[in-house]
Amino acid sequence: MTDHSSDKFSTLSRRGFMKFGAASVAAASSPLFFIKDAWAEEKAIGNFPVKGSSVKFGFNYPQSGAYKDEGADEGRAYKLAVEHINSGGGMLSTLQPLALKGNGVLGKKVEFVIGDTSSNPARAVTSARRMIEQDGIIMFSGGSSSSVAIAQQYLAQKTGVIFMCGLTHSNDTTGKDRRRYGFRHFFNAYMSGKALAPVLAKTYGKDRRAFHLTADYSWGHTQYASMKEFTEKQGWTTVNNIMTPLGSNDYSMFLTAIMNSDADVIILNHYGKDMVNSLTQAVEFGMRDLQKNGKNIEFVVPLFSRVMAKGAGASNIDGVFGTTGWNWTLQDAGSQAFVKTFTEKYGFPPSQAAHTCYVQTILYANACEKAGTFYPPEVIKTLENSRYTGIGPGETFYRGEDHQCFKDMLVMKGNGPDSRTGQYDLLKIVEQVKREDTLYDHKTFPGELGPYIPA
Protein backbone atom coordinates (compact mmCIF):
# COMPACT_ATOMS: atom_id res chain seq x y z
CA MET A 1 0.00 0.00 0.00
CA THR A 2 1.32 3.46 -0.90
CA ASP A 3 2.68 5.41 2.06
CA HIS A 4 0.59 8.44 3.04
CA SER A 5 2.72 9.59 5.96
CA SER A 6 1.89 13.22 5.19
CA ASP A 7 -1.87 12.67 5.35
CA LYS A 8 -3.75 14.08 8.34
CA PHE A 9 -7.09 13.27 9.92
CA SER A 10 -8.35 16.49 8.33
CA THR A 11 -8.16 14.90 4.87
CA LEU A 12 -11.01 12.58 5.81
CA SER A 13 -14.44 13.69 4.69
CA ARG A 14 -17.15 13.85 7.35
CA ARG A 15 -18.80 10.83 5.74
CA GLY A 16 -15.50 8.96 5.70
CA PHE A 17 -14.83 9.76 9.35
CA MET A 18 -18.27 8.55 10.44
CA LYS A 19 -17.91 5.42 8.35
CA PHE A 20 -14.54 4.37 9.72
CA GLY A 21 -14.55 6.01 13.15
CA ALA A 22 -15.96 3.04 15.06
CA ALA A 23 -13.61 0.60 13.41
CA SER A 24 -10.60 2.76 14.19
CA VAL A 25 -11.55 2.97 17.85
CA ALA A 26 -11.87 -0.83 17.99
CA ALA A 27 -8.39 -1.11 16.43
CA ALA A 28 -6.86 1.35 18.90
CA SER A 29 -3.50 -0.38 18.80
CA SER A 30 -2.93 0.81 15.18
CA PRO A 31 -5.51 3.48 14.35
CA LEU A 32 -3.30 5.53 12.01
CA PHE A 33 -2.41 2.61 9.80
CA PHE A 34 -6.05 1.60 9.46
CA ILE A 35 -7.25 5.10 8.69
CA LYS A 36 -4.51 5.69 6.13
CA ASP A 37 -5.41 2.49 4.30
CA ALA A 38 -9.10 3.33 4.47
CA TRP A 39 -8.37 6.83 3.11
CA ALA A 40 -6.50 5.37 0.14
CA GLU A 41 -9.29 2.93 -0.64
CA GLU A 42 -11.97 5.60 -0.24
CA LYS A 43 -10.13 7.99 -2.55
CA ALA A 44 -9.12 5.61 -5.34
CA ILE A 45 -8.69 7.72 -8.51
CA GLY A 46 -7.52 6.62 -11.94
CA ASN A 47 -4.88 3.95 -11.37
CA PHE A 48 -4.22 4.99 -7.78
CA PRO A 49 -3.44 3.32 -5.42
CA VAL A 50 -0.31 1.85 -7.01
CA LYS A 51 0.34 -1.76 -6.08
CA GLY A 52 3.49 -3.79 -6.51
CA SER A 53 7.16 -2.91 -6.62
CA SER A 54 7.00 -0.78 -9.77
CA VAL A 55 5.00 2.13 -11.15
CA LYS A 56 4.27 2.70 -14.83
CA PHE A 57 4.44 5.92 -16.88
CA GLY A 58 2.94 6.33 -20.36
CA PHE A 59 4.71 8.23 -23.15
CA ASN A 60 2.46 9.08 -26.08
CA TYR A 61 4.31 10.94 -28.83
CA PRO A 62 4.31 11.15 -32.66
CA GLN A 63 6.24 8.31 -34.23
CA SER A 64 4.66 9.02 -37.60
CA GLY A 65 3.14 12.06 -39.33
CA ALA A 66 4.28 15.65 -39.76
CA TYR A 67 5.89 15.92 -36.32
CA LYS A 68 7.63 12.54 -36.13
CA ASP A 69 11.16 14.05 -36.06
CA GLU A 70 10.26 16.04 -32.94
CA GLY A 71 8.60 12.94 -31.55
CA ALA A 72 11.74 10.85 -31.98
CA ASP A 73 13.67 13.26 -29.77
CA GLU A 74 10.85 13.27 -27.23
CA GLY A 75 11.08 9.48 -27.04
CA ARG A 76 14.81 9.63 -26.38
CA ALA A 77 14.29 12.16 -23.59
CA TYR A 78 11.56 10.14 -21.90
CA LYS A 79 13.76 7.06 -21.77
CA LEU A 80 16.66 9.08 -20.37
CA ALA A 81 14.42 10.63 -17.71
CA VAL A 82 13.28 7.21 -16.51
CA GLU A 83 16.90 6.05 -16.40
CA HIS A 84 17.83 9.02 -14.22
CA ILE A 85 14.81 8.64 -11.93
CA ASN A 86 15.70 5.00 -11.36
CA SER A 87 19.49 5.27 -11.17
CA GLY A 88 20.40 8.94 -10.69
CA GLY A 89 22.23 11.35 -12.98
CA GLY A 90 21.33 14.24 -15.24
CA MET A 91 19.24 16.96 -13.64
CA LEU A 92 18.96 15.05 -10.39
CA SER A 93 22.31 16.68 -9.61
CA THR A 94 21.02 20.22 -10.25
CA LEU A 95 17.25 20.33 -9.56
CA GLN A 96 16.14 22.30 -6.50
CA PRO A 97 14.08 21.59 -4.48
CA LEU A 98 14.98 17.93 -5.00
CA ALA A 99 13.03 15.10 -3.40
CA LEU A 100 14.06 12.25 -5.71
CA LYS A 101 16.83 9.95 -4.51
CA GLY A 102 17.76 8.25 -7.76
CA ASN A 103 16.14 4.97 -6.73
CA GLY A 104 12.74 5.29 -8.42
CA VAL A 105 9.70 7.03 -6.98
CA LEU A 106 8.51 6.32 -3.45
CA GLY A 107 10.57 3.15 -3.43
CA LYS A 108 9.10 1.88 -6.70
CA LYS A 109 11.03 1.32 -9.92
CA VAL A 110 9.64 3.31 -12.85
CA GLU A 111 8.65 1.36 -15.96
CA PHE A 112 7.06 2.83 -19.09
CA VAL A 113 4.95 2.06 -22.15
CA ILE A 114 4.89 4.08 -25.38
CA GLY A 115 2.28 4.93 -27.98
CA ASP A 116 2.08 6.71 -31.33
CA THR A 117 -0.18 9.75 -31.60
CA SER A 118 0.52 10.28 -35.33
CA SER A 119 -0.23 13.94 -34.44
CA ASN A 120 -3.91 12.96 -34.63
CA PRO A 121 -6.17 13.74 -31.63
CA ALA A 122 -8.41 10.69 -32.04
CA ARG A 123 -5.48 8.31 -32.37
CA ALA A 124 -3.74 9.96 -29.44
CA VAL A 125 -6.76 9.49 -27.19
CA THR A 126 -7.16 5.86 -28.26
CA SER A 127 -3.50 5.20 -27.50
CA ALA A 128 -3.63 7.00 -24.15
CA ARG A 129 -6.82 5.22 -23.13
CA ARG A 130 -5.17 1.88 -23.84
CA MET A 131 -2.26 2.85 -21.60
CA ILE A 132 -4.64 3.86 -18.82
CA GLU A 133 -7.04 0.94 -19.01
CA GLN A 134 -4.74 -1.90 -20.05
CA ASP A 135 -1.28 -0.89 -18.87
CA GLY A 136 -2.26 0.80 -15.62
CA ILE A 137 -0.18 3.96 -16.04
CA ILE A 138 -0.17 6.48 -13.18
CA MET A 139 0.72 9.43 -15.46
CA PHE A 140 1.24 10.11 -19.14
CA SER A 141 3.03 12.65 -21.29
CA GLY A 142 3.57 13.51 -24.93
CA GLY A 143 2.72 16.01 -27.60
CA SER A 144 4.06 17.97 -30.59
CA SER A 145 0.55 18.95 -31.68
CA SER A 146 -1.57 21.17 -29.45
CA SER A 147 -4.81 19.60 -30.64
CA VAL A 148 -3.39 16.26 -29.51
CA ALA A 149 -2.33 17.70 -26.14
CA ILE A 150 -5.73 19.29 -25.57
CA ALA A 151 -7.57 16.07 -26.40
CA GLN A 152 -5.38 14.18 -23.95
CA GLN A 153 -5.94 16.78 -21.24
CA TYR A 154 -9.68 16.18 -21.47
CA LEU A 155 -9.06 12.43 -21.17
CA ALA A 156 -6.78 13.04 -18.18
CA GLN A 157 -9.46 15.04 -16.38
CA LYS A 158 -12.08 12.41 -17.10
CA THR A 159 -9.99 9.43 -15.98
CA GLY A 160 -8.10 11.03 -13.10
CA VAL A 161 -4.64 10.31 -14.57
CA ILE A 162 -2.27 13.30 -14.67
CA PHE A 163 -1.08 14.45 -18.11
CA MET A 164 2.26 16.27 -18.22
CA CYS A 165 2.02 18.00 -21.61
CA GLY A 166 4.93 17.59 -23.98
CA LEU A 167 5.40 20.01 -26.85
CA THR A 168 2.25 22.16 -27.10
CA HIS A 169 2.30 25.87 -27.97
CA SER A 170 -1.37 26.83 -28.45
CA ASN A 171 -2.78 29.45 -26.08
CA ASP A 172 -5.79 27.17 -25.66
CA THR A 173 -3.85 24.45 -23.82
CA THR A 174 -3.68 26.56 -20.67
CA GLY A 175 -6.41 28.95 -21.82
CA LYS A 176 -9.95 27.92 -22.65
CA ASP A 177 -9.01 24.21 -22.63
CA ARG A 178 -7.00 24.21 -19.38
CA ARG A 179 -7.64 21.24 -17.13
CA ARG A 180 -6.76 20.45 -13.52
CA TYR A 181 -5.10 17.19 -14.60
CA GLY A 182 -2.86 18.83 -17.22
CA PHE A 183 0.39 20.80 -16.76
CA ARG A 184 2.38 22.62 -19.43
CA HIS A 185 6.11 23.32 -19.16
CA PHE A 186 6.37 24.75 -22.69
CA PHE A 187 5.71 28.42 -23.41
CA ASN A 188 2.76 29.48 -25.58
CA ALA A 189 1.95 31.48 -28.72
CA TYR A 190 1.04 34.62 -26.78
CA MET A 191 4.46 34.59 -25.11
CA SER A 192 6.13 34.08 -28.50
CA GLY A 193 4.38 37.11 -29.95
CA LYS A 194 5.16 39.23 -26.90
CA ALA A 195 8.86 38.33 -26.98
CA LEU A 196 9.42 38.30 -30.74
CA ALA A 197 7.55 41.35 -32.06
CA PRO A 198 9.82 44.00 -30.46
CA VAL A 199 12.91 42.27 -31.88
CA LEU A 200 11.34 42.16 -35.36
CA ALA A 201 10.41 45.85 -35.22
CA LYS A 202 13.91 46.79 -34.05
CA THR A 203 15.51 44.73 -36.83
CA TYR A 204 13.19 45.36 -39.78
CA GLY A 205 11.50 48.62 -38.81
CA LYS A 206 7.94 49.47 -37.81
CA ASP A 207 6.60 50.10 -41.33
CA ARG A 208 6.15 46.51 -42.47
CA ARG A 209 3.39 44.55 -44.20
CA ALA A 210 2.98 40.92 -43.15
CA PHE A 211 1.32 37.97 -44.88
CA HIS A 212 0.70 34.87 -42.75
CA LEU A 213 0.48 31.19 -43.68
CA THR A 214 -1.06 29.33 -40.76
CA ALA A 215 -1.52 25.67 -39.84
CA ASP A 216 -5.27 25.11 -39.64
CA TYR A 217 -5.74 23.82 -36.09
CA SER A 218 -5.71 25.11 -32.52
CA TRP A 219 -2.02 26.01 -32.35
CA GLY A 220 -1.91 27.78 -35.71
CA HIS A 221 -5.03 29.80 -34.95
CA THR A 222 -3.67 31.13 -31.66
CA GLN A 223 -0.18 31.63 -33.08
CA TYR A 224 -1.58 33.77 -35.89
CA ALA A 225 -3.77 35.77 -33.50
CA SER A 226 -0.85 36.42 -31.13
CA MET A 227 1.63 37.40 -33.84
CA LYS A 228 -0.98 39.66 -35.45
CA GLU A 229 -1.71 41.36 -32.13
CA PHE A 230 1.89 42.03 -31.13
CA THR A 231 3.28 42.96 -34.56
CA GLU A 232 0.41 45.41 -35.09
CA LYS A 233 1.23 46.96 -31.72
CA GLN A 234 4.68 47.61 -33.22
CA GLY A 235 3.12 49.37 -36.20
CA TRP A 236 3.04 46.50 -38.69
CA THR A 237 0.11 45.93 -41.05
CA THR A 238 -1.42 42.49 -41.53
CA VAL A 239 -2.06 42.05 -45.27
CA ASN A 240 -3.70 38.62 -45.20
CA ASN A 241 -3.71 35.16 -43.66
CA ILE A 242 -4.28 31.79 -45.32
CA MET A 243 -5.05 28.68 -43.31
CA THR A 244 -3.16 25.63 -44.60
CA PRO A 245 -3.95 21.95 -43.88
CA LEU A 246 -1.68 20.16 -41.41
CA GLY A 247 0.71 17.89 -43.29
CA SER A 248 0.60 19.78 -46.60
CA ASN A 249 3.27 18.90 -49.14
CA ASP A 250 2.55 21.55 -51.78
CA TYR A 251 2.45 25.23 -50.78
CA SER A 252 2.75 26.66 -54.30
CA MET A 253 -0.81 27.99 -54.43
CA PHE A 254 -0.42 29.78 -51.09
CA LEU A 255 2.99 31.20 -51.99
CA THR A 256 1.64 32.50 -55.29
CA ALA A 257 -1.00 34.46 -53.37
CA ILE A 258 1.76 36.06 -51.29
CA MET A 259 3.79 36.97 -54.36
CA ASN A 260 0.72 38.68 -55.84
CA SER A 261 0.32 40.81 -52.70
CA ASP A 262 2.31 43.80 -51.48
CA ALA A 263 3.54 41.99 -48.34
CA ASP A 264 7.22 42.37 -47.50
CA VAL A 265 7.30 39.96 -44.54
CA ILE A 266 6.12 36.34 -44.64
CA ILE A 267 5.21 34.82 -41.29
CA LEU A 268 5.06 31.02 -41.36
CA ASN A 269 2.87 29.83 -38.51
CA HIS A 270 4.00 26.28 -39.29
CA TYR A 271 5.86 23.70 -37.28
CA GLY A 272 7.82 20.52 -37.97
CA LYS A 273 7.68 19.17 -41.51
CA ASP A 274 5.11 21.81 -42.47
CA MET A 275 7.60 24.59 -41.81
CA VAL A 276 10.38 22.71 -43.59
CA ASN A 277 8.18 22.33 -46.69
CA SER A 278 6.74 25.85 -46.76
CA LEU A 279 10.06 27.64 -46.20
CA THR A 280 11.97 25.41 -48.61
CA GLN A 281 9.40 25.91 -51.35
CA ALA A 282 9.36 29.68 -50.77
CA VAL A 283 13.13 29.79 -51.24
CA GLU A 284 12.82 27.66 -54.38
CA PHE A 285 10.30 30.22 -55.67
CA GLY A 286 13.04 32.83 -55.32
CA MET A 287 11.08 34.78 -52.72
CA ARG A 288 14.11 35.51 -50.52
CA ASP A 289 15.65 37.42 -53.43
CA LEU A 290 12.61 39.63 -54.05
CA GLN A 291 11.78 43.13 -52.85
CA LYS A 292 8.43 44.71 -52.07
CA ASN A 293 7.85 48.34 -51.08
CA GLY A 294 11.56 48.96 -51.56
CA LYS A 295 12.41 46.39 -48.87
CA ASN A 296 13.81 42.87 -48.99
CA ILE A 297 11.21 40.19 -48.30
CA GLU A 298 11.89 38.70 -44.86
CA PHE A 299 10.71 35.43 -43.31
CA VAL A 300 9.66 34.79 -39.73
CA VAL A 301 9.04 31.40 -38.08
CA PRO A 302 7.45 32.25 -34.70
CA LEU A 303 8.05 28.80 -33.22
CA PHE A 304 11.50 27.53 -34.18
CA SER A 305 13.46 24.37 -33.36
CA ARG A 306 16.84 22.94 -34.24
CA VAL A 307 15.17 19.88 -35.74
CA MET A 308 13.18 22.12 -38.11
CA ALA A 309 16.26 24.19 -38.94
CA LYS A 310 18.16 21.05 -39.85
CA GLY A 311 15.31 19.88 -42.06
CA ALA A 312 15.07 23.20 -43.91
CA GLY A 313 18.83 23.56 -44.30
CA ALA A 314 21.27 26.22 -43.12
CA SER A 315 21.05 28.36 -46.27
CA ASN A 316 17.25 28.51 -46.08
CA ILE A 317 17.03 29.44 -42.40
CA ASP A 318 19.87 31.97 -42.57
CA GLY A 319 18.75 35.12 -40.73
CA VAL A 320 15.19 33.84 -40.07
CA PHE A 321 13.86 34.89 -36.65
CA GLY A 322 11.75 32.81 -34.27
CA THR A 323 11.38 31.75 -30.64
CA THR A 324 12.32 28.62 -28.73
CA GLY A 325 11.84 27.43 -25.19
CA TRP A 326 15.38 26.17 -24.73
CA ASN A 327 18.65 25.60 -26.59
CA TRP A 328 21.45 23.13 -26.02
CA THR A 329 24.10 25.89 -25.95
CA LEU A 330 22.75 27.41 -22.72
CA GLN A 331 25.40 27.39 -20.02
CA ASP A 332 23.39 27.02 -16.81
CA ALA A 333 24.15 23.91 -14.74
CA GLY A 334 20.82 22.16 -15.37
CA SER A 335 20.95 22.58 -19.15
CA GLN A 336 24.53 21.39 -19.34
CA ALA A 337 23.86 18.36 -17.12
CA PHE A 338 21.05 17.36 -19.46
CA VAL A 339 23.06 18.03 -22.62
CA LYS A 340 26.00 16.01 -21.30
CA THR A 341 24.00 12.90 -20.43
CA PHE A 342 21.80 13.08 -23.54
CA THR A 343 24.80 13.51 -25.86
CA GLU A 344 26.71 10.69 -24.18
CA LYS A 345 23.76 8.37 -24.70
CA TYR A 346 22.65 9.35 -28.21
CA GLY A 347 25.65 10.98 -29.85
CA PHE A 348 24.15 14.42 -30.50
CA PRO A 349 22.69 17.26 -28.42
CA PRO A 350 18.98 17.35 -27.46
CA SER A 351 16.28 19.55 -28.97
CA GLN A 352 13.85 21.80 -27.10
CA ALA A 353 11.22 19.05 -27.48
CA ALA A 354 13.55 16.63 -25.71
CA HIS A 355 14.21 19.16 -22.95
CA THR A 356 10.57 19.88 -22.16
CA CYS A 357 9.61 16.18 -22.13
CA TYR A 358 12.55 15.24 -19.94
CA VAL A 359 11.74 18.04 -17.49
CA GLN A 360 8.03 17.17 -17.33
CA THR A 361 8.85 13.56 -16.43
CA ILE A 362 11.40 14.51 -13.78
CA LEU A 363 9.12 17.13 -12.20
CA TYR A 364 6.15 14.77 -11.99
CA ALA A 365 8.29 12.13 -10.27
CA ASN A 366 9.79 14.74 -7.96
CA ALA A 367 6.31 16.01 -7.01
CA CYS A 368 5.18 12.50 -6.09
CA GLU A 369 8.26 12.00 -3.93
CA LYS A 370 7.76 15.39 -2.28
CA ALA A 371 4.04 14.74 -1.66
CA GLY A 372 4.80 11.26 -0.31
CA THR A 373 2.08 9.75 -2.48
CA PHE A 374 0.92 9.05 -6.03
CA TYR A 375 -2.57 10.26 -5.07
CA PRO A 376 -3.39 12.62 -7.98
CA PRO A 377 -4.97 15.55 -6.08
CA GLU A 378 -1.97 15.76 -3.74
CA VAL A 379 0.50 15.57 -6.62
CA ILE A 380 -1.42 18.31 -8.45
CA LYS A 381 -1.40 20.55 -5.39
CA THR A 382 2.34 19.97 -5.02
CA LEU A 383 2.92 21.11 -8.62
CA GLU A 384 0.60 24.11 -8.47
CA ASN A 385 2.47 27.36 -7.73
CA SER A 386 5.71 25.39 -7.43
CA ARG A 387 9.09 26.94 -8.23
CA TYR A 388 12.25 25.19 -9.37
CA THR A 389 15.82 25.98 -10.32
CA GLY A 390 18.42 23.78 -11.94
CA ILE A 391 16.37 22.70 -14.98
CA GLY A 392 17.23 25.62 -17.25
CA PRO A 393 18.25 29.27 -16.93
CA GLY A 394 16.63 31.18 -14.08
CA GLU A 395 13.61 30.05 -12.11
CA THR A 396 10.75 27.89 -13.41
CA PHE A 397 7.27 28.67 -12.03
CA TYR A 398 4.07 26.63 -12.53
CA ARG A 399 1.14 29.01 -12.06
CA GLY A 400 -1.70 27.51 -10.07
CA GLU A 401 -4.57 29.31 -11.82
CA ASP A 402 -3.97 27.82 -15.28
CA HIS A 403 -1.02 25.39 -14.95
CA GLN A 404 1.07 27.46 -17.37
CA CYS A 405 4.81 27.43 -16.76
CA PHE A 406 6.81 30.66 -16.87
CA LYS A 407 10.56 30.65 -17.39
CA ASP A 408 13.15 32.39 -19.52
CA MET A 409 12.61 31.87 -23.26
CA LEU A 410 14.74 32.61 -26.30
CA VAL A 411 14.53 34.69 -29.46
CA MET A 412 16.59 32.90 -32.09
CA LYS A 413 17.98 33.56 -35.55
CA GLY A 414 18.99 30.96 -38.12
CA ASN A 415 22.71 30.49 -38.70
CA GLY A 416 23.70 30.35 -42.35
CA PRO A 417 26.45 28.08 -43.75
CA ASP A 418 29.11 30.74 -43.20
CA SER A 419 28.09 31.38 -39.57
CA ARG A 420 27.94 27.82 -38.30
CA THR A 421 30.65 26.40 -36.06
CA GLY A 422 29.37 22.80 -36.33
CA GLN A 423 26.56 20.69 -37.72
CA TYR A 424 24.31 21.38 -34.71
CA ASP A 425 25.02 25.11 -34.56
CA LEU A 426 21.90 26.00 -36.56
CA LEU A 427 20.26 28.61 -34.34
CA LYS A 428 21.84 31.59 -32.64
CA ILE A 429 20.47 33.08 -29.41
CA VAL A 430 19.60 36.71 -30.14
CA GLU A 431 17.96 37.49 -26.82
CA GLN A 432 17.23 35.58 -23.62
CA VAL A 433 13.83 36.97 -22.61
CA LYS A 434 13.33 37.00 -18.86
CA ARG A 435 10.37 35.21 -17.36
CA GLU A 436 8.83 38.39 -15.95
CA ASP A 437 8.80 39.96 -19.43
CA THR A 438 6.41 37.32 -20.79
CA LEU A 439 4.08 37.11 -17.79
CA TYR A 440 0.41 37.87 -18.39
CA ASP A 441 -2.77 37.78 -16.30
CA HIS A 442 -4.29 34.32 -16.16
CA LYS A 443 -7.66 35.92 -16.98
CA THR A 444 -6.32 36.90 -20.43
CA PHE A 445 -7.63 33.54 -21.63
CA PRO A 446 -10.80 32.52 -19.79
CA GLY A 447 -11.04 28.88 -18.78
CA GLU A 448 -11.78 26.54 -15.89
CA LEU A 449 -9.40 23.95 -14.51
CA GLY A 450 -12.13 21.75 -13.07
CA PRO A 451 -12.15 19.73 -9.83
CA TYR A 452 -9.31 17.90 -8.12
CA ILE A 453 -11.48 14.79 -7.90
CA PRO A 454 -13.00 13.92 -11.30
CA ALA A 455 -16.77 13.67 -11.43
pLDDT in tens, 131-157: 999 999 999 999 878 889 999 999 999
Regarding whether 314 and 194 lie in a shared domain, the answer is yes
Whether residue 332 contacts residue 299, with contact meaning beta carbons closer than 8 Å, is answered with: no
Any residues with CB less than 8 A from the CB of 423 and at least 6 apart, and which?
none
103 and 243 in a single domain? The answer is: no
In this structure, is residue 2 part of a structural domain?
no
Q: Are residues 417 and 294 part of one domain?
A: yes
Q: Is the pLDDT of residue 41 over 60?
A: no
| Structural domain boundaries, residue 290 | 190-324+410-437
259 and 342 co-located in one domain = no
Q: Is residue 142 part of a domain?
A: yes
Question: Looking at the structure, do residues 358 and 429 belong to the same domain, yes or no?
Answer: no
Q: Residue 240's CB: how many other CB atoms inside 10 A?
A: 13
pLDDT given for residue 119 in this prediction: 84
Q: At residue 453, what are phi and psi to the nearest 5 degrees?
A: -110, 115
Taking only the tens place, the pLDDT of each residue in 198-216 is 999 999 999 999 999 999 9
The tens digit of pLDDT for each residue in 367-409 reads 999 999 999 999 999 999 999 999 999 999 999 999 999 999 9
451 domain-assigned = no
> Is 350's pLDDT higher than 80?
yes
Is it the case that residue 249 has pLDDT exceeding 70? Answer: yes
pTM: 0.87
- In the predicted model, what is the mean pLDDT of residues 181-195? 96
**pLDDT number for residue 422:** 87
Note whether 286 and 433 are same-domain residues.
yes
DSSP state of 284: H
Residue 179: predicted pLDDT? 98
Residues 178 and 202 placed together within one structural domain of the fold: no
Average pLDDT over residues 326-341: 97
Q: What is the model's pLDDT at position 178? A: 97
pLDDT score for 384: 98
Residue 36 domain flag: yes
Per-residue confidence (pLDDT) for residue 247, from 0 to 100: 85
User: What's the mean pLDDT in 120-137?
Assistant: 96
What does the buried/exposed string (b/e) look like for 250-272 if buried means 16 or more CB atoms within 10 Å of the residue's CB?
ebeebbeebbeeebbbbbbbbbb
Q: Do 66 and 177 sit in the same domain of this protein?
A: yes
Q: Distances from the Cα of 441 to the Cαs of 191, 266, 331, 388, in angstroms?
A: 12, 30, 30, 21
- Calculate mean pLDDT across residues 31-55: 67
Higher pLDDT, 65 or 309: 309
What pLDDT was estimated at residue 118?
86
Note whether 182 and 163 are within 8 A (CB).
yes
**Summary mean pLDDT of the chain:** 89
- Domain assignment present for residue 452? The answer is no
Segment 359-372 shows an average pLDDT of 98
Question: Residue 306: which CATH number?
Answer: 3.40.50.2300
13, part of any domain: yes
Q: What is the mean pLDDT of residues 34-45?
A: 51
417 with 282, same domain: the answer is: yes
Quick one: 277 and 394 in the same domain? no
Residue 443 pLDDT exceeds 50: yes
Q: What is the predicted pLDDT for the residue at 43?
A: 80
Question: How much is the average pLDDT of 302-313?
Answer: 90
Between CA 413 and CA 402 the distance in angstroms is 30
Domain count, the chain: 3
In a domain, 4, yes or no: no
Mean pLDDT within 425-444:
94
Cβ contact 272:67 at 8 Å: yes
The pLDDT, as a whole number, for residue 262 is: 97
3-state secondary structure at position 396: strand
Per-residue pLDDT, 405: 97
User: What pLDDT score was predicted for residue 6?
Assistant: 34
Residue 256 lies in a domain: yes
**In this structure, are 297 and 223 located in the same domain?**
yes
| pLDDT of amino acid 273 | 87
> Are 355 and 430 within one domain?
no
